[in-house]
């Protein structure tokens, strides 16, 4: 997590970065099975099994009640709910906005850390602190900071800008999810920054020097040399953050409005309903969340391949 | 540090530190009414509650969270290291598929999987048990460990192992005296990742633990509902502490110059 050694280890999210380091070694099949078998078995059973059983339950499969035929009734009911698109849109808005802002801040921070403060170990340490703080704690803290009677409101009141909590803008349980975005940005900027820093550290400096001596402006050097280098790592970092925020429960549960709910909160609300009949709908929403994330992974890979091919052609 | 870099450095430091302020202020307050910036009356009621009145409950929560995270991390390391080695070192047919399967749990949210597993865990009598919660945490911690070791072994040179073997080292000697010392920084990072992930799980613990596994996040949620801010602030700070200490410890063990370069 950002120390000299470990930073390297964050690289492999960018699967091609890992591929570069490989020397195409081969080993025997039994040895491979011994190394990979247990992990593949655990993840297939728990993860694959969990998704499969979830899908079956969402399709109404309940052998213990004699219901063995599958139907899309729960998915159809969820999709037909006027709530559905509002919830999907809110969830997408929160994930996309926090990821985009975090990406911009991360690139700026990584460039600064690499080119201006590479020797500043204390700053590196400070930037690692948010990685260790659970989202739940950050959410509670943002609540204490941003509610109408929170610390920021008190600060503005002291400064004479507002006269009462009522004059403070609504930043918690608000339509734009400001406090939710703030929590995610605070948590994810260091994560993406360290992923980008790893690549910057291993970047050849000759290219930048050549660019500079040929009279490239800083902006041109960024656009044509630095950005292509960090793009894969930045892309995977952003994707992980997007997927995480899309499926996260605690932060929108604590800081969001009661209508519309984000998809994960809506899903769990149905799942934990006293009326057990609501449970399959909750699981169906969970499956929709998983499917959305997997489909976006597929499209982001397509996009990556497309842009790489285009680059190769030009 | 150059003067013109100061605004940037200051804003990073400020941004990182600011969420800790309300937690600290609230945890040390007994009277803290609007619009006071600092509490009208400082006090340790929140801390007294955490360290005295509810000491048993909080200590049990720390113990529960800690043992869950520790066991999950150990299992993740034992199975994650070999898998990461396979992905980092070797080429084999089906590698893309295997890596996709092993990495998918990093992006698919725990919620979707946990709800699906719940019914099955009830039948296997794994709900409300320590083992059941370890299994659900493992589903998400193991892929992260594999991911870290994948990177470690991409930069690893196994020729050292061959040399040791040709000099007559036994397989266990090669593992414990050659490989493990070489990948030790990676082990530390993988362990930290896995520990933190398990340590901060809320929903999966709630669903599978069924309210019986009272980890710190579960306690914190119920405290938030009660709305007592001094107590919530104190518990939050206790919740952060172990991870923060772990960060300092790994920083020390991974790079001794960490605190030097503030020029």
DSSP A261: P
Q: Which residues of A touch B150 (CB under 8 A)?
A: 12, 18
Mutate to test the interface with B, among A12, A24, A114 (most CBs of B within 10 A): A12
Nearest CB to B154 within list A12, A48, A124: A12
Q: Are B134 and B68 in contact (CB under 8 A)?
A: yes
Q: Which residues of B touch A136 (CB under 8 A)?
A: 200, 202, 217, 220-221, 239
Mutate to test the interface with A, among B2, B35, B235 (most CBs of A within 10 A): B35
Q: Are B205 and B215 in contact (CB under 8 A)?
A: yes
Measured CA distances, A178 to A147, A267, B110 (Å):
11, 22, 24
Helix (H) or strand (E) holding A96: helix A83-115
Q: Which residue of A has its CA nearest to B246?
A: A132
Rounded distance between C-alpha atoms, residue B17 and residue B5, angstroms: 18
Q: Which of residues 202-231 of A touch B (CB under 8 A)?
A: none
Reported residue count of chain A is: 314
CB within 8 Å: A140 and B82: no
Task: Calculate mean pLDDT across residues B17-35.
Answer: 91
Residue A295 touches partner B, C-beta closer than 8 Å: no
Q: How confident is the model at residue B255 (pLDDT cuts 50, 70, 90)?
A: low
Residue with tokens 């150990």: B74
CB within 8 Å: B261 and A119: yes
Which two three-digit tokens encode residue B14? Answer: 């400020």
**Domain residue extents for chain B:** 3-42, 60-254
Phi, psi of B41 (to 5 degrees): -140, 115
Q: Which residues of B touch A131 (CB under 8 A)?
A: 196, 247
Specify which of A89-98, B48-57, B243-252 reaches the highest per-range mean pLDDT. Answer: A89-98
Q: How confident is the model at residue B254 (pLDDT cuts 50, 70, 90)?
A: low
Q: Are A151 and B21 in contact (CB under 8 A)?
A: yes
Q: Which residues of B touch A150 (CB under 8 A)?
A: 22
Largest Cα–Cα distance in chain A? 76
Q: Which residues of B touch A39 (CB under 8 A)?
A: 79-80, 82-83, 102, 142, 146
Rounded distance between C-alpha atoms, residue B127 and residue B208, angstroms: 5
Q: Which residues of B touch A246 (CB under 8 A)?
A: 109
Rounded distance between C-alpha atoms, residue A117 and residue A125, angstroms: 12
> No. of H helices and E strands in chain B?
13, 2
* Percent above pLDDT 70 for chain B: 95
Phi, psi of B261 (to 5 degrees): -70, 25
Exposure string for A104-136, b = 16+ CB within 10 A, e = fewer: ebbbebbbbbbebbeebbbbbbbbbbbbbbbbb
Shortest distance, CA B213 to any CA of chain A (angstroms): 17
Q: Are A187 and A258 in contact (CB under 8 A)?
A: no
Q: Single out the residue of A268, A263, A261 nearest to residue A293, CA to CA.
A: A263
DSSP B29: E
Q: How confident is the model at residue B1 (pLDDT cuts 50, 70, 90)?
A: low
CB within 8 Å: B111 and A140: no
Q: Which residues of B touch A149 (CB under 8 A)?
A: 34
Shortest distance, CA A312 to any CA of chain B (angstroms): 23
DSSP B64-117: HHHHHHHHHHHHHHHHHHHHHHHHHHB--TTHHHHHHHHHHHHHS-HHHHHHHH
Give the count of beta carbons closer than 10 Å to the beta carbon of residue A311: 10
SS3 A165: helix
CB within 8 Å: A52 and B258: no
Nearest CB to B19 within list A136, A142, A297: A142
Look at residue B208 and tell me whether its pLDDT is greater than 70: yes
Shortest distance, CA B147 to any CA of chain A (angstroms): 7
Rounded distance between C-alpha atoms, residue B231 and residue A4, angstroms: 38
Q: How confident is the model at residue B259 (pLDDT cuts 50, 70, 90)?
A: very low
Q: Which residue of B has its CA nearest to A239?
A: B107
Measured CA distances, B149 to A33, A157, B79, B93, B153 (Å):
17, 51, 11, 20, 6
Residue B230 touches partner A, C-beta closer than 8 Å: no
Shortest distance, CA B92 to any CA of chain A (angstroms): 7
pTM of full prediction above 0.80: yes
pLDDT tens readout for residues B62-109: 999 999 999 999 999 999 999 999 998 998 888 889 999 999 999 999
Which pLDDT does position A22 carry in this prediction? 46
**Domain residue extents for chain A:** 35-71, 83-313
CA B226, distance to chain mean position in Å, is 27
Nearest CB to A53 within list B116, B250, B263: B116
Q: Are B133 and B213 in contact (CB under 8 A)?
A: yes
Which pLDDT does position B226 carry in this prediction? 79
Q: Single out the residue of A52, A58, A88, A54 nearest to residue A72, CA to CA.
A: A58
SS3 A49: helix
Nearest CB to A51 within list B37, B113, B148: B113
Domain B60-254 - what CATH class? mainly alpha
Residue with tokens 């600064």: A112
Q: Which of residues 58-117 of B touch A (CB under 8 A)?
A: 79-80, 82-83, 85-92, 98-99, 101-102, 104-117
CB within 8 Å: A126 and B16: yes
CA A86, distance to chain mean position in Å, is 21
> No. of H helices and E strands in chain A?
16, 0
* Percent above pLDDT 90 for chain B: 49
What sign does the CA torsion over A220, A222, A224, A225 have? positive
Which pLDDT does position A19 carry in this prediction? 46
Rounded distance between C-alpha atoms, residue B191 and residue A9, angstroms: 13
Sheet strands (E) in chain B:
29-31, 41-42
Counted across chains A and B, CB pairs separated by less than 8 A come out at 322
CB within 8 Å: A9 and B148: yes
Q: How confident is the model at residue B193 (pLDDT cuts 50, 70, 90)?
A: confident
Bridge partners, B41 (sequence order) = B31
Q: Which residue of B has its CA nearest to A289?
A: B112
Mutate to test the interface with A, among B105, B151, B160 (most CBs of A within 10 A): B151
Per-residue pLDDT of chain A in tens (314 residues, 90 and over written 9) = 333 333 333 333 444 444 444 457 888 888 889 999 999 999 999 999 999 999 999 998 877 777 777 888 888 888 888 889 999 999 999 999 999 999 999 999 999 988 888 778 888 889 989 988 999 999 999 999 999 989 999 999 888 888 888 888 999 989 999 999 999 999 999 999 998 988 888 777 787 888 888 888 888 888 888 888 888 889 889 999 999 999 999 999 999 998 899 999 999 999 999 888 889 999 999 999 999 999 998 888 888 788 778 777 76
What sign does the CA torsion over A250, A255, A258, A263 have? negative
CB within 8 Å: A27 and B92: yes
Rounded distance between C-alpha atoms, residue B246 and residue A109, angstroms: 24
Residue A261 region by backbone torsions, left for phi larger than 0, else alpha for psi between -120 and 50, else beta: beta
Which two three-digit tokens encode residue A211? Answer: 């660019």
Shortest distance, CA B205 to any CA of chain A (angstroms): 12
- Tell which wins on pLDDT, A213 or B60: B60
Which pLDDT does position A200 carry in this prediction? 86
Mutate to test the interface with B, among A60, A65, A133 (most CBs of B within 10 A): A133
CB within 8 Å: B111 and A289: yes
Give the count of beta carbons closer than 10 Å to the beta carbon of residue A76: 11
Rounded distance between C-alpha atoms, residue A313 and residue B21, angstroms: 53
pLDDT tens readout for residues B128-144: 999 999 999 999 999 99
Q: Which ranges of A116-173 would DSSP assign to H, the alpha helix?
A: 121-132, 135-146, 151-158
Shortest distance, CA A4 to any CA of chain B (angstroms): 7
CATH topology of domain A83-313: MetI-like fold (1.10.3720)
Bridge partners, B79 (sequence order) = none
């Amino acid at each position: 997590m950002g120390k000299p050694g470990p930073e390297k280890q964050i690289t492999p999210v960018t699967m091609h970065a890992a591929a570069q380091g490989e020397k195409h070694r081969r080993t025997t099949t039994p040895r491979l099975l011994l190394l990979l078998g247990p992990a593949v078995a655990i993840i297939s059973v728990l993860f694959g099994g969990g998704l499969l059983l979830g899908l079956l339950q969402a399709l109404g499969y309940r052998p213990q009640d004699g219901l063995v035929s599958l139907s899309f009734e729960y998915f159809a009911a969820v999709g037909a709910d006027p709530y559905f698109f509002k919830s999907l849109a809110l969830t997408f808005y929160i994930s996309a906005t926090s990821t985009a802002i975090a990406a911009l801040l991360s690139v700026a921070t990584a460039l600064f850390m690499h080119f201006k403060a590479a020797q500043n170990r204390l700053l590196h340490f400070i930037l690692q602190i948010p990685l260790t703080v659970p989202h739940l704690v950050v959410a509670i803290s943002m609540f204490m900071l941003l509610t109408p009677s929170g610390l920021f409101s008190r600060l503005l009141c002291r400064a004479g800008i507002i006269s009462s909590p009522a004059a403070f803008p609504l930043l918690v349980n608000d339509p734009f999810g400001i406090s939710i975005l703030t929590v995610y940005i605070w948590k994810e900027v260091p994560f993406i920054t360290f992923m980008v820093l790893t690549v910057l550290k291993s970047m050849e400096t000759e290219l930048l020097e050549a660019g500079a001596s040929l009279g490239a402006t800083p902006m041109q050097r960024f656009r044509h040399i630095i950005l292509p280098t960090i793009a894969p790592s930045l892309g995977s970092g952003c994707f992980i953050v997007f997927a995480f925020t899309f499926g996260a429960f605690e932060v929108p549960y604590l800081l969001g409005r009661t209508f519309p709910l984000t998809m994960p909160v809506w899903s769990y609300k149905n799942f934990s309903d006293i009326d057990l009949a609501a449970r399959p709908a909750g699981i169906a929403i969970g499956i929709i969340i998983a499917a959305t994330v997997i489909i976006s992974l597929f499209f982001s890979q397509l996009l990556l391949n497309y842009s790489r091919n285009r680059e190769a052609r030009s | 540090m150059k003067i013109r870099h100061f605004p940037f450095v200051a804003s990073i430091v400020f941004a990182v530190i600011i969420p800790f302020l309300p937690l600290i202020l609230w945890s040390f307050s007994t009277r803290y009414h609007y619009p006071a910036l600092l509490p009208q009356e400082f006090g340790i009621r929140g801390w007294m509650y955490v360290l005295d009145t509810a000491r048993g409950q909080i200590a049990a929560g720390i113990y529960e969270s800690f043992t869950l995270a520790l066991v999950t991390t150990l299992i993740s390391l034992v199975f994650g290291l070999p898998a990461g080695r396979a992905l980092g070192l070797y080429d084999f047919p089906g590698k893309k598929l295997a890596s996709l399967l092993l990495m998918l749990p990093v992006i698919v949210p725990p919620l979707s999987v946990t709800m699906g597993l719940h019914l099955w865990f009830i039948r296997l009598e794994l709900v409300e048990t320590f083992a059941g919660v370890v299994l659900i945490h493992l589903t998400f911690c193991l892929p992260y460990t594999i991911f870290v070791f994948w990177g470690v072994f991409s930069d690893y040179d196994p020729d050292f192992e061959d040399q040791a073997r040709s000099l007559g080292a036994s397989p266990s000697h090669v593992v414990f005296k050659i490989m493990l010392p070489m990948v030790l920084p990676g082990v530390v990072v993988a362990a930290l990742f896995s520990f933190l992930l398990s340590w901060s799980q809320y929903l999966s613990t709630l669903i599978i633990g069924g309210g019986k596994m009272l980890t710190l996040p579960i306690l914190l949620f119920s405290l938030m509902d009660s709305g007592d801010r001094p107590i919530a602030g104190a518990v939050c700070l206790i919740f952060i502490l172990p991870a923060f200490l772990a960060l300092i410890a790994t920083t020390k063990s991974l790079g001794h110059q960490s605190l030097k370069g503030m020029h």
